[in-house]
Structure 1
Amino acid sequence: MRLGIEITSRCNARCAHCSAACGPQRTATLGTDELCAVMDQAAALNTGQLEFALTGGEPFLDLAQLRALIAHGQALGAIVGCVSNGFWATSVSRGVEVLAPLAEAGLRLLGISSSRFHRAFVPAERVAHALQAARQCGLRTVLKQAVIEADLSSAPDADLSAAAVWADEVESFAVIGPGRSQGAVADHELIRPRGIPLGRCPSEDTMIAADGRVLACCSSGPVSELHTLGDIHTATLARALDRLRRDPVHQRLRAVGPASFLPAVVRAGHQDRLREGYVDTCDLCTHLASDPQLASVVRDSAHETHPERSPRGA
């Protein structure tokens, strides 16, 4: 089992492409005790390798909580990773000061997010410092780069390219959707090839959002109730995962993919709400889930196919 945990929606940055609209004014934060309880539940349910991916917002804003969660995951035998924008690495030595206690507590993987949007708040040199410090602390690193059309047509950013040499892996992915608000990232800036992606949901992950929702998705962006499986404040993780297993929408998303719902969209007369192209299956799935009329068609179509499965809204 791999469980993503969005510790907080608070962030030192307000990146335009952030679909979860994280920022300094956001206040949704989960407590250490309740998160440890959820991690215990995950460990009790898990039969294979357990992984916890700690994210935000910016989880490094509360180093004491982050270290406690890492140590708890380590005690449960889990592989623990986290994602940050690297703002704290004002120098390599400062980066080591921050990371060494986390590595000692059990942190194994560090993702550093950077893009033209991040660099409005975090200089590329801090990304390089964070990656170098992580290497000194024995952590495996991934440089996560969100890109738009301008990144494909312009020369590579020299500072970020210099930072990338310190990463064990570089993962580039296209920005999905309008970002933190409608129009924050213009449609023409998004990388959207024409056509419909036919793949199935690429992830088996579930995620705890900073407000306590359990999501059948690795993003807490605008996915509406369609991807919401429960809430850790009112129900157990086991109940949410059981809903994931029996819900016909998610069975189809993971078995054949979101494109399988498009015939029903056409029959309902909503084909004009679809776009001419999508980045990938995640982009298509997010669009279907975030548009109320399309989401309604998806839900109705799934339950018409499997009427014996969970009732709508269960």
Structure 2
Amino acid sequence: MLPLSTLTFFLSWRCSVACEHCGFTCGPGRRGKLSIQRALALIDEAHRREPTLRMIAYSGGEPFLFHDDLLTLMSAAFARGLAGGVVSNCSFAVSDDAVRARLAPLARLGLEELIVSLDEFHLAFVPLENIRRVAHFAMDNGVRLGVNVLALRGRGIRRAEAAAMLGIDAANPPPGGLWIQESSPLRTGRAQRAISPEEQILHPLASFANNPCQYVTRNMVVTPEERVFACCGFGDSSPRGPAALALVGDLRTSSFAECLNRAQGSLVFNIMAEYGPAALLALARNHDDSIELPEAFASNCDICGHISATAPVRKALSRALRALTAKIPDTPARTRAP
């Protein structure tokens, strides 16, 4: 049974900026927001049901457009002993005073991790100094700092440059912790139009063998539409898009307990957690060797997107999983077709 360690709320698809790489097509014109009453109820239920839960995280969209909601939700989570995590584009960080006003109250409510982005897409809208202010607040206040670097072939910022640009001594990590991760954007949402396949930094499919997914079911997501996904790394947010493989339910028609049980009992997700999504491609190919697969992918998430978007792969995988479970006595029927 896969443990749930983080529950992430995508509070809204509304954002203060409209980056060209955005897989969710977030922007100032997007409307709709996750009900705060729903989020509070989920914090309570997840805390009661899952002893392994330790963090409630907030993303979007730009969470700091809803700062009062952040305070309310983090206060409720803190009262239950749960840490907080926030992903932000840092557009709010126009001064040191603005940073303190937004982040100091959250730090008192258990803020454990702040994740920012440093790349040409965000810098087209958000000054570097804003990102530096947030990064240094985190480091100075014992909050773990995460830096996502999105890179393309032949252009853009790379991981090796990020620390220097933010004024970070990567050789001496701050007390709260530090990670800097480089990846290539998935071609979903706006990125499908703005980024060509040739620009993506790809890696051979063989390099993803035995590369477990660290997030599936361990970090589940609730979207503004109250859909529940088994991971945080999906692109798009529609049931028919690249995220389809990770969709486990809709809170308008299913309970959170039902969604959680589907995720934790899924053979697909257990295989991904143990061996990685490339193992699903191998199962599909072993069942039907006529399937044509790309030679390279950008990431584990890219592989999941390919499975979701490719009917022959999904069909072969479903058949392979049914054949596999038929050989196991008394196996529950939890191999939902991807």
TM-score relative to the length of structure 1: 0.88
Who is 1:131 aligned against?
135
Matched to 1:310, the amino acid is R
Q: CA deviation at 1:311?
A: 6.5
Q: CA deviation at 1:30?
A: 0.2
Work out the CA distance in 2 between the residues paired with 1:123 and 1:134: 18
RMSD, aligned CA: 2.7
Who is 2:226 aligned against?
212
Q: CA deviation at 1:34?
A: 0.6
Alignment of 1:226-305 (within 5 A): 226-263=245-282, 264-265=284-285, 267-268=287-288, 271-272=291-292, 274-305=293-324
Task: Report if the CA contact (8 A) 1:212-1:231 is conserved.
Answer: yes
Identity of aligned residues (%): 26
Task: Report if the CA contact (8 A) 2:158-2:182 is conserved.
Answer: no
Q: CA deviation at 1:225?
A: 3.1
Q: What does the per-residue CA deviation read over 1:235-256, in whole Å, with 9 as the maximum and x for residues that have no partner? A: 2222111111222222222233
Work out the CA distance in 2 between the residues paired with 1:219 and 1:27: 22
Change in Cα spacing, 1:21 to 1:268, as seen in structure 2 (3 Å) is farther
Work out the CA distance in 1 between the residues paired with 2:100 and 2:158: 33
Matched to 2:268, the amino acid is V
Work out the CA distance in 1 between the residues paired with 2:267 and 2:19: 35
Verify: 1:174 aligned to 2:183, yes or no.
yes
Verify: 1:62 aligned to 2:66, yes or no.
yes
SS of corresponding position for 2:85: strand
Matched to 1:190, the amino acid is Q
Who is 2:107 aligned against?
103
Corresponding residue to 1:5 among 9, 12, 25: 9
Who is 1:202 aligned against?
214
Q: What does the per-residue CA deviation read over 1:186-224, in whole Å, with 9 as the maximum and x for residues that have no partner? A: 111111023331123222322112221111121241434
Task: Report if the CA contact (8 A) 2:58-2:86 is conserved.
Answer: yes
Change in Cα spacing, 1:243 to 1:210, as seen in structure 2 (3 Å) is same
SS of corresponding position for 2:295: coil
Corresponding residue to 1:40 among 39, 44, 59: 44
Q: CA deviation at 1:153?
A: 8.8
SS of corresponding position for 1:226: helix
Q: CA deviation at 1:304?
A: 2.8
Task: Report if the CA contact (8 A) 1:20-1:220 is conserved.
Answer: no
Change in Cα spacing, 1:7 to 1:292, as seen in structure 2 (3 Å) is farther
Q: CA deviation at 1:49?
A: 4.9
Change in Cα spacing, 1:26 to 1:298, as seen in structure 2 (3 Å) is farther
Matched to 2:319, the amino acid is D
Verify: 1:140 aligned to 2:144, yes or no.
yes
Q: What does the per-residue CA deviation read over 1:124-157, in whole Å, with 9 as the maximum and x for residues that have no partner? A: 1110112223345543322222222235798976
Alignment gaps of 5+ in structure 2: 236-240, 327-331
Q: CA deviation at 1:26?
A: 2.0
TM-score relative to the length of structure 2: 0.83
Matched to 1:93, the amino acid is D
Task: Report if the CA contact (8 A) 2:245-2:305 is conserved.
Answer: no
Matched to 2:187, the amino acid is P
Matched to 1:271, the amino acid is I
